[in-house]
Amino acid sequence: MLNYKLRITSFKKKIARNYMVLVFLILFSWLSSYAQVTATIDSTTIKIGEQITYHIQVETNHSNLVVFPEGQTFSPLEMIDSYPIDTIKNKDKYNLIKKYGLTQFDSGSYTIPRQKIIIGDKTFFTDSLKIEVNNVAIDTTKQGLYDIKPIIEVEKSASNWWKYMLLTLLILSVIAFLLYWFIWRKKPLSEEEQIALLPPYDRAKLALKKLDESSYLENQNLKDYYSELTFIIRKYLDEKVYDRALESTTDELINRLKLLKEGNQVDLNKDDIKNLESILKRADLVKFAKSAPDIELAKIDRNTIDIEIDHVKEALPEPTEEEKLLDQKYREAQEQKKKRKKILLTIAISLFLIVATIVGFSIKYGFSYVKDTIIGHESKALLEGNWITSEYGFPPVTISTPEVLKRIETPIPNDLQSQLKISTFGFEQKNKITIVVSNTVLAQAQDSLDISKAIEGNLKTLENKGARNILTKNEKFTTPNGAEGIKTYGTLDYPLENTEHYINGNYVLFSFTSGNQVIQQIILTWIKDDTYAYKIMERIINSIELKKPEK
């Protein structure tokens, strides 16, 4: 029994000890995450447009991460400046002070909403603060009053299309210059090309002069000397007398010259043919039998070839007019052939550059984007155009759209005209995109606004316009500036105008209540498979901001 009591006592002591440890840990955890948040303003009364400074002071440990509010979270006041965070160390604590410059351009009583501050993994809220905005008294005896200025048309800001045009023209100019320089430009002829353009007789004479300037005879290189010498006469005969002179043996060439003489086609005498035969056979012995004639004999053979070239020219009959005409046509045909070659080469290079450019941009941006850029796409033009950010209705709905929304007259039944006012603004890209902003203001405040009826009314309007197969989902939605509402979205089929066909589409309806008298709605519809339209709607949705009415 005694042992049992001792065990009970020991067990109780352990429980007490563990309980103290637990309390200590909880207390330590609370102390380590301790944070205090306060918010103040330097004045509760200002004039229109005057700035007040809103202070948020956070006292916390150095290990905690503090996230202050950013953006227009102070609505209905507007933030005009956000100052850097001041940090003051107080023993083991830190005081962080964040300042904001706020203002309001309409008179009235306003409440700065609670601001959310994240410290570590916890969220804290400041108290809401009231502020009075007073009108600025105007002494009409000193400051004159003027009529309201008329509405004037504002020109759209200039786009940057001219920069892209200039860049395109610059690239095309560079390509055109390169094509001209390397293909179409008449390049200076090289020495070989200039010689090739000479008549065969002049070429043969020039070749003999160059042979004289060579060092073959000085070096007693008779083989190369006779090779050059016989090539000159063979080349001339090949072009003017017999077109196989270069590839014929000496006997074959001489026999052909004799046949041409007998046929009165070439007026060469027997001595000319005999001289040519003697020189050609001597050259064969030098080239193939390693014969070594005297240097002086080689010079005599050179002079003999010079004379025989003249004799061959004299022996050739004068070309007839028909031959001259054929020769002219041949030259023209050659020029046309060269021109066609340049054209084909230019086309091939241009096509290659176009295809390479398209492939490169398609790899980077996608083929559909490149195709739509070249061919054109209405939704893409809207997405990449100059967007307009404007306010519609009152209380205003601020929204960015690719085009200005125009006022739409909304018919109201006679029995309801005294109970509500509706202002509607919209834009439509036929059978592709619809943007509508609607403000409904009730004549009398309601205890609670049933926004579901307004949503049903809009869906009914879609049905009346021919939409079918409307699928609906609802969820909460918060705008970038903190206005909360309901997002109704889904898919539908809507008819193509003047046809029996339907298009698959998407829609989204945003519904907000402002006070107990105002319902604000934004409805967007677009084609389901239009990626540009989807990006347009995404950009519009991210731009929605609402302002609460004055109290």
Q: How many CB atoms are closer than 10 A to CB 464?
A: 8
Q: Helices (DSSP H) in 316-430: which residue ranges? A: 321-365, 367-375, 378-383
- Give the pLDDT confidence score for residue 3 in this predicted structure: 46
Q: Which domains does the chain have, with CATH numbers?
A: 35-134 (2.60.40.10), 191-317 (1.20.120), 386-546 (3.40.1000.10)
Please tell me the predicted confidence (pLDDT) of residue 190.
73
What rounded mean pLDDT belongs to the chain? Answer: 81
pLDDT band at 324 (very low <50, low <70, confident <90, very high): low
> Could you tell me if 306 and 287 are in contact, meaning their C-beta atoms sit under 8 angstroms apart?
no
Q: How far is CA 46 from CA 103, 133, 136, 316, 549, in A?
A: 9, 5, 10, 115, 19
Q: Which of 234-243, 303-312, 492-501 has the lowest mean pLDDT?
A: 492-501
Q: What is the mean pLDDT of residues 234-248?
A: 89
Q: Is the dihedral of CA 444, 445, 446, 447 positive or negative?
A: negative
Q: Is the pLDDT of residue 2 over 70?
A: no
Percent of the chain with pLDDT over 70: 86
**What amino acid is encoded at 306 in this protein?**
D
Do 44 and 132 meet the contact criterion of CB atoms below 8 Å apart?
Answer: yes
Query: At 140, is the pLDDT very low, low, confident or very high (cuts 50, 70, 90)?
Result: low
C-alpha distance from residue 96 to each of 37, 38, 83, 116, 117 (Å): 10, 11, 12, 15, 12
Return the amino acid letter for 196. A
The two three-digit tokens of residue 431, written as one number:
């059978």
Amino acid (1-letter code) at residue 510: F
Query: pLDDT per residue over 348-377, tens digit each?
Result: 988 888 888 888 887 877 777 777 767 767
pLDDT category at 112 given cuts 50, 70, 90 is: confident
Residue 318 per-residue DSSP state: P
**Rounded to the nearest 5 degrees, what angle is found at the Cα of 516, between the Cα atoms of 511 and 521?**
15
Q: Could you tell me the pLDDT band of residue 154, with boundaries at 50, 70 and 90?
A: low
CA–CA separation, 17 vs 27, rounded Å?
Answer: 15
Query: Can you give the pTM of this predicted structure?
Result: 0.47
CA atoms within a 13 Å half-sphere pointing along the CA-CB vector of 74:
26
525 close to 433: Cβ distance less than 8 angstroms: yes
Q: What is the pLDDT of residues 386-445, one digit of tens each?
A: 898 988 887 788 999 998 999 888 777 777 767 778 889 999 888 788 999 998 887 776
* Residues 397, 520 contacting (CB under 8 angstroms): yes
pLDDT in tens, 248-274: 999 999 998 889 888 888 888 888 889
284, 214 contact by CB (below 8 A): no
Give the list of residues 6+ apart from residue 233 with CB closer than 8 angstroms, or none: 204, 276, 279, 280, 305, 308, 309
Chain segment 167-218, per-residue pLDDT in tens: 888 988 998 988 888 888 887 777 777 777 788 888 899 999 999 899 988 8
Q: Given pLDDT bands bounded at 50, 70 and 90, which one contains residue 278?
A: very high
What pLDDT, on a 0 to 100 scale, did the predictor assign at position 12? Answer: 45
Mean pLDDT calculated for residue range 220-232: 91
pLDDT band per the 50, 70, 90 thresholds, residue 72: low
pLDDT of 156 strictly over 80? no
